[in-house]
Each structure stands twice: as C-alpha cells, then as structure tokens.
C-alpha cells in the first residue's frame, strides 16, 4: 500500500509530459478577466460563520496552500490571488458575494464554493456569465451536467456514484443479498438511493427487500431499524447523517440483527458517529473512501501524508491535523493548481474550463493508491472511484481494489 518509487517516477514523468504539452502555448499569451503576467485571481465563498462554519477551515487551508505556491514562484511566474469571502452558508449572501467576485473583483474562475444550497443559488448566474465554477465542495449529482451547465464542475465523489459503487460491490461479492435500505428523506438521501438502484439495475427489484426513511427532525430511527430487520434482510445500506448513523449502528447491533452493514461516507467519522455508537458495535462496518484518512495509522509514514503534515506545520499551524477537511482542501487546491498549470499562457475563462474538462489520469498522492481523476467534455464527474474500507474496531482499513461506477 505504500507509495512506491515507481509510482513517484511515473508521477514525475506525467508532470514533465504536462510541461511539454504546455510549452507550445507559451508562444502567445492570452488573458481573460482576472489574469495577467503577474497574477491569477480566483474567487470563492466559504462558510466562515454560520451553521457550517466547521468547513471554513477548507478556505483557510487554500489560502495557506496558495501562499506556499506563490513563495515558490507561483504558476508559470504568476501569483495566485485567492479572494475568499464569507457567505455564512446563506444562499442570498452567496449570490451577493459571487456577484462581487465576478463583477467587481473580476476573478478568472470560482474555486471550491462550498455547500449545495449556496451553489444552487449561483448555478444559473455563473453559467449565464460564463465564469468557470470549479471543484465545488458538495456531493450533489447535479454539478456534473455539462450539457445544461457547461461552466460548472464539482469535485466530490457524487452521492449517486457512492451508491452505485456499493451496489456494484454487492453484485460482485454477495449477489444473493437481501438488502434493506434506510435513507434520509431529502435530496441527499434520494441521491444515494438512486445510485444504489441504478447500480443494481435489473436486480434491484429482487435484491431490495425493504426501504425505510426518516426525517431530520425525527428523534430516533429505532422503529425503522426494527421494521427493516423484520423484513428478513441480511444486508443493510445505511444512508444517514451522523446523528442517525450512530443510532442506526447501535440499534442494528443491539437488536441482534447484525447484517452486512454498509454505512455511507457522510457518517463514516470515527469520532462523531462510531464512538458514540460504540466502537465494539461498529466492527465490520463497510464504507467508501477516496482519499487517505489522516487518522489511519497505515498512512503514518506515507510520503504524501508526511508532505501534507509538513505543510500543515509550516503554513497552516492553526489548522487541526486530525481534521479530514484539511486533507480534502489540500487535494482540491492541488487539483486547481494542476488545471491552472495546464492552461499554460492561455489564461482565458474558456481555456480554464477546457482544461478542467480534460483532466486525464491525474494521480494525486493523497488520493487512495490506484485512483485517478478524469474528466472529459461530456463527463464532469471528476472523482468516480473509491475504495471500500472495513472498520476494525479502532480505525477504517481499506481493502480490495479501487472501484468505479463503470466497473
């Protein structure tokens, strides 16, 4: 699982190939709004205040990361200037701030605007204005719709893709499974559910024996678990947010059901879900991961992890090295830098979008081994793969191959 020198070499070779590819473009320089000989202006909104302010660390890490890039000479000699504004996770504020970024600050592109509701509010606007709306920090599936929204490209493994991968895993490893599904009754829950059903395909009608839903306002999901258990299912796909995830894990164990239990990534946090549920009751849970977990001891001496930790110590000391959001933010910043480098000296909004839609086999070292990022003009799903992980009682342990939606 360690990072082999061969992989390192192939990465270097890849980077070199990129540099060569970019070279011919150096002949003529083209600039769109927000780009010049000395600067590349990016914009983002982040919930530095409000209900989702825990995610604000992502924007802070980006600022620190670009500072590091700039100190090392920037991108082809141009410094990245990230204008990161607070929207408090409030859609109207996002609209206001994004209009400021686009109309007043004239940024070249938007980068990692966070949250589904805030991004929904600006989706039409940025596409009408033809501003690259890149690497959105949300898992909703609608961000990959190049036909209707050619300027929007998300980052996260989509909820549907996650569901599909669970389904593919079951088809391969437990084709006779009798599946029970619990999901949160909103767009997120339905998104994952749709992925599962699409993944199972024709087998869905036969394999899914029970479905139950809950509302975010429900006190517990105990009765739903009992109902699902009563259906005789031997496999349980748990599509819940942390509080309900913990309840479901505990109840599924305490009731003596003990199915093959798949819990979605949203609720895979050891600290906020499995610990309150009981670590002993969580043994054997499955989930999906796509980047390395900073708390997983198997990556303790991983070169990519060491590099990240060094960065955290040097440029972002106030950040929490246990918080996976900081690793996620590092990955997304690297992806953005990759796109900007690929643009060469043609820094127009059209070319930024073109490069973002033509990422080929980008293997970032903090992604799980064997994974790569890919897009094409007709496919805006950047992350399409993940690896299943099993909970050992103390941590998640990845196993098996990297799985994709296409497999």
Partner 1 sequence: MATPSSAHTTAPAALNRGQMLGLALVFAVACALPFVVSNYRVFQFTLALVYAIALLGLNMLTGYNGQISLGHGAFYAIGAYVAAILMDKFGVPYWLTIPAAGAVCLVAGFLFGLPALRLEGLYLSLATFALGVAMPQILKYKGFEHWTGGVQGIVIVKPDPPEWLSLTQDQWLYFVVLACLVVLFVIGWNLLRGRIGRAMVAIRDQPIAAQVMGVNTALVKSLTFGVSAMYTGIAGALGAIVIQFVAPDTFTIFLSISLVVGIVIGGLASISGAIYGALFIQFIPNVADQISKAAPWAIYGVFLIVFMYVMPSGVAGFIRIIIGRLRQRRQR
Contacts with partner 1 by CB under 8 A lie at 48-51, 84-86, 88-92, 95-96, 99-100, 103-104, 116-117, 120-121, 123-125, 185-188, 215-217
Whole-number Å distance between alpha carbons of 112 and 339: 13
Q: Taking the complex as a whole, how short is the minimal distance between the CB of residue 307 and partner 1, in angstroms?
A: 27
Closest CA to 169 of 199, 194, 193, 198: 199
Q: Are 328 and 55 in contact (CB under 8 A)?
A: no
Nearest Cα residue to 296 out of 270, 326, 262, 263 = 270
Nearer to partner 1, 142 or 384 (CB): 142
How does DSSP assign 313-376, residue by residue? HHH-TTS-TT-HHHHHHHHHHHHHHHHHHHHTTEE-HHHHHHHHTT--SB--TTBPTT--B--B
Shortest CB 117 distance to partner 1, Å: 5
Pair 67, 132: CB distance under 8 Å: no
Could you give the C-alpha distances from 1 to 51, 264, 299, 400, 401, in angstroms and in order?
38, 23, 9, 11, 11
Nearer to partner 1, 114 or 200 (CB): 114
Identity of the residue, 103 or 350, whose beta carbon is nearer to partner 1 in the bound complex: 103
Q: For residues 237 and 262, is the Cβ–Cβ distance under 8 A?
A: yes
Closer CB to partner 1, 59 or 386, in the complex: 59
In which order are the strands placed within the sheet that holds 109-111?
79-86, 39-46, 109-111, 133-136, 152-154
Cα–Cα separations (whole angstroms), residue 212 to 57, 69, 177, 184, 192: 35, 48, 17, 9, 14
Structure-token pair, residue 85:
């504004």
Nearer CB in complex with partner 1: 218/234: 218
Q: 106 or 234, CB closer to partner 1?
A: 106
Min CB(242)–partner 1 separation in Å:
17
Minimum CB separation of residue 148 from partner 1 in Å reads 12
Find the shortest distance in angstroms from Cβ 278 to partner 1. 30
Helix axes 5-22, 324-343, angle to 10 degrees: 40
By C-beta, is 90 or 334 nearer to partner 1? 90
**In whole angstroms, how close is the CB of 191 to partner 1 at the nearest point?**
10
- In whole angstroms, give the CA distance from residue 356 to residue 335: 9
116 or 326: CB nearest partner 1: 116
CB of 382 to partner 1, least distance (A): 21
Instruction: Select 211 or 254, whichever has its Cβ closest to partner 1.
Output: 211
Minimum distance, C-beta of residue 55 to partner 1, in the bound complex (Å): 14
What's the N-to-C CA distance of the chain in angstroms?
A: 21
In angstroms, give the least distance from the CB of 103 to partner 1: 4
Specify whether the CB–CB gap between 43 and 98 falls below 8 A.
yes
Nearer to partner 1, 116 or 287 (CB): 116
User: Could you tell me how many helices (H) and strands (E) the chain has, helices first?
Assistant: 13, 14
Angle ∠(34,39,44) on CA atoms, nearest 5: 55
Q: How far is the CB of 264 from partner 1 (least distance, A)?
A: 17
Phi, psi of 279 (to 5 degrees): -65, -35
Is the sign of the CA dihedral 135, 136, 139, 140 positive or negative? negative
């Amino acid at each position: 699982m360690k990072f082999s020198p061969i992989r390192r070499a192939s990465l270097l070779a890849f980077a070199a190939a990129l540099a060569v590819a970019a070279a011919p473009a150096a002949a003529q320089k083209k600039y769109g709004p927000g780009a010049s000989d000395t600067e590349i202006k990016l914009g983002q909104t982040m919930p530095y205040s409000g209900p989702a302010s825990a995610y604000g660390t992502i924007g802070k890490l980006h600022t620190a990361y670009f500072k590091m890039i700039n100190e090392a000479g920037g991108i082809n000699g141009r410094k990245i200037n990230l204008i990161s504004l607070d929207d408090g996770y409030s859609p109207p504020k996002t609209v206001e701030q994004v209009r400021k970024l686009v109309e007043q600050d004239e940024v070249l592109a938007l980068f990692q605007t966070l949250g589904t509701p805030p991004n929904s509010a600006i989706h039409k606007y940025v596409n009408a204005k033809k501003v690259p709306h890149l690497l959105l920090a949300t898992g909703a599936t609608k961000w990959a719709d190049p036909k209707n929204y050619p300027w929007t490209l998300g980052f996260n493994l989509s909820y549907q893709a996650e569901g599909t991968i669970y389904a593919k895993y079951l088809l391969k490893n437990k084709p006779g499974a009798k599946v029970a599904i619990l999901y949160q009754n909103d767009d997120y829950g339905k998104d994952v559910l749709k992925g599962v059903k699409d993944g199972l395909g024709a087998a869905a009608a036969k394999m899914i024996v029970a479905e139950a839903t809950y509302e975010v306002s429900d006190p517990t999901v105990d009765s739903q678990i009992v109902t699902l258990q009563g259906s005789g299912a031997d496999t349980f796909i748990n599509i819940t947010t942390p509080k309900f995830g913990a309840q479901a894990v505990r109840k599924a164990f305490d009731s003596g059901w003990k199915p093959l239990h798949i819990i979605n990534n949203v609720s895979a946090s050891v600290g906020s879900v499995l610990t309150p549920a009981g670590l002993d009751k969580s043994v054997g849970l499955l989930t999906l991961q796509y980047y390395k977990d900073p708390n997983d001891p198997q990556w303790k001496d991983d070169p990519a992890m060491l590099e990240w930790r060094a960065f955290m110590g040097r440029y972002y000391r106030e950040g929490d090295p246990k918080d996976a959001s900081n690793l996620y933010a590092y990955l997304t910043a690297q992806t953005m830098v990759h796109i900007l480098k690929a643009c060469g000296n043609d820094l127009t909004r059209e070319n930024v979008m073109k490069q973002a839609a033509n990422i080929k086999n980008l293997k970032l070292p903090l992604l799980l081994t064997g994974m790569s990022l890919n897009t094409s003009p007709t496919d805006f799903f950047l992350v399409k793969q993940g690896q299943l992980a099993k909970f050992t009682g103390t941590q998640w342990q990845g196993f098996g191959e990297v799985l994709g939606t296409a497999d």
